[in-house]
Amino acid sequence: RTIDEVSRYVAEQRQRGASIGLVPTMGALHAGHISLVEKCVSENDVTIVSVFVNPTQFNNPADLASYPRKEDDDFRLLSAAGASAVFAPGVEEIYPGGIDAQPEHHFELGMAAEVMEGKYRPGHFQGVAQIVSKLFRMVTPDRAYFGEKDFQQIAVIRNMIKSEGIKVDIVACPIKRADDGLALSS
């Protein structure tokens, strides 16, 4: 639940020479998320899954309030999928003193953040970059796993790690679809 706990866990794993993979999520997990976890488990000694509903990437407060939170179900699914650890901090742990108390930082995300979804959700990808960069710095993974359903987000994250000088391999994983062909999404 805390940055200190995840930092200690990562340090212990690094001391024994383990490779570390991270699957960042906002919870409300489904088969698409689990496919990311399984891929991460197959390619790393340690798989850490973050479960954090990030308020800075919601333009509409009602969307944040209604976002599904199923922590007990998520933890059961992650255990069954072979995750080594779950990092599930509260908002106050990630944003001490509140979101407005955080130093303002503008990420260089390139045109990928300005078109398609970015055109209609101003600030969304800045919020994504903010939390993903925090998670990368807290967990220091060798690899991070994202679904290709969010291909624009993957492009933005790749731009962010380049501009921020963060060393992590981004692994894009195939889309999982429902029986009717719709891409699975929370």
- Cα dist from 170 to 66, 92, 100, 145, 161, whole Å: 29, 27, 29, 6, 9
Are 24 and 135 in contact by the 8 Å Cβ rule? The answer is: yes
Is 124 in the active site?
Answer: no
Alpha carbon 110 to chain centroid, angstroms: 20
The answer to whether the Cα torsion of 119, 120, 125, 127 is positive or negative is positive
Distance CA 138, CA 116 (A): 30
Distance CA 160, CA 165 (A): 8
Identify the CA nearest to 132 among candidates 157, 104, 167: 157
Identify the CA nearest to 108 among candidates 176, 158, 57, 177: 158
Please pick, among 33, 105, 106, 124, the residue that the annotation labels catalytic. 33
Q: Write out the catalytic residue numbers.
A: 33
